[in-house]
Structure 1
Amino acid sequence: MAHAAPASGPLPDVFSERTHRIASVAVPVVLGLIYGYWAAANRRSGGEITGWNLLFGFVTAIAFMVLYVAVREIASRSIREVHAILWAAFVGGGFGFLYSQSGNTVLKSAAMGLAVGAACFVVLFYRYYTHEDAEGHRTG
């Protein structure tokens, strides 16, 4: 029995340019605040919230936002290998930092960050490799 082949080509963009501009600012802010809260919560280990803990959370959130925007801008203009390495390093480093805030050793945190980063690299490299044409240009 014959079936119709799925249509290939880029997906339609259903959001306006204004929505994309808002999202380009809102996504780093929201992710940064979540990450900062998570890091501060790990650091206090269920204890009381202090001023230093709040400061740590906000500084961590700002650092995350800046790094996220930098990786997003640099990676989008890179070849697939560098693109995957940048995001894997960002995710692995972020995970290792959160893991270290829960009281684990630096060596164990680094090993966990490397493991998560390596897994992220494999997944992202496969995704970027399968979404390029023969000349290395991104499709879709």
Structure 2
Amino acid sequence: MDQHAHRHEARAARSHGTVDVEHGATANARSRDPQRAARPAGLAGLAERIPATVSLPVIAALAFGCFTIFRTHTDGTKGGPAMLYGLAAAVVTGLLGLALAHFQSSMITETRALAYGALFGCAIGWVYSLGGETILKSSAFGLTLGAVMFVVALYVFRTHRTREPHGIHRPHKPHRDHRLPVATH
């Protein structure tokens, strides 16, 4: 073992003459860069490089587009028009979701929850209307699910404040002690 590996308590692997990097030794130049060595190759590596503020709205938009295709098929629309409805729904909700995810760090908790609720409620209400339902029934359905999404988003944002990109909005200041100081003679 060389002195560097011995100093950092690394041990040589018995098979193939490799160095055990688990204990601080470096086997080659690639393992010296922890960012590069820890990154998997292929789709898993691509998934780690794309931030969640991009990947989650895109995945949600694709799922919403598929749901739109399903909903238009139940109304009797077949083939190309159903695919166009699904494509339009995926593009519009994807762009709105990306914009919301991009600007969410500048919003206070209640506004952010309201934005998520409004986007979800409008999208679901519109898709519900594609099935042949009346405008009033679709609006009520969208408003109800938007309110549910608002409550869920508000709950998640309030209970996971440490993960918020901008920290706690209204931190509590310590209460001042209004007692008089102790008299010293």
Taking structure 2 as the reference length, the TM-score comes to 0.56
Corresponding residue number in structure 2 for 1:81 = 110
Corresponding residue number in structure 1 for 2:68 = 39
The residue identity in structure 2 corresponding to 1:59 is: A
1:100 aligns to 2:108 (yes or no):
no
The residue identity in structure 2 corresponding to 1:75 is: Q
1:136 aligns to 2:169 (yes or no):
yes
Corresponding residue number in structure 1 for 2:26 = none
**What does the per-residue CA deviation read over 1:77-114, in whole Å, with 9 as the maximum and x for residues that have no partner?**
21011111001111111211221111111111111111
The residue identity in structure 2 corresponding to 1:127 is: V
Contact 1:36 1:61 (8 Å CA) reproduced:
yes
Calculate percent identity across the aligned residue pairs: 31
Q: Could you tell which deviates more after superposition, 18-27 or 53-62?
A: 18-27
**What does the per-residue CA deviation read over 1:38-72, in whole Å, with 9 as the maximum and x for residues that have no partner?**
11221121747322222221111111110110111
Q: Could you tell which deviates more after superposition, 23-32 or 53-62?
A: 23-32
Name the CA distance, whole Å, in 1 between partners of 2:130 and 2:60. Answer: 18
**Structure 2 unaligned spans of 5+:** 1-37, 40-44, 172-185
1:114 aligns to 2:143 (yes or no):
yes
Counterpart of 2:132 in 1: which secondary structure? coil
- Computed over aligned residues only, the root mean square deviation of the Cα atoms, in angstroms, reads 2.9
Corresponding residue number in structure 2 for 1:7 = none
Distance of aligned partners of 1:37 and 1:131 in 2 relative to their CA distance in 1, 3 Å threshold: closer
The residue identity in structure 1 corresponding to 2:169 is: G
Higher gyration radius (CA): 2
Contact 1:32 1:65 (8 Å CA) reproduced:
yes
Name the CA distance, whole Å, in 2 between partners of 1:100 and 1:50. Answer: 19
Aligned length: 124
Name the CA distance, whole Å, in 2 between partners of 1:23 and 1:123. Answer: 19
Taking structure 1 as the reference length, the TM-score comes to 0.72
Distance of aligned partners of 1:48 and 1:120 in 2 relative to their CA distance in 1, 3 Å threshold: closer
Corresponding residue number in structure 1 for 2:178 = none
Contact 1:92 1:117 (8 Å CA) reproduced:
yes
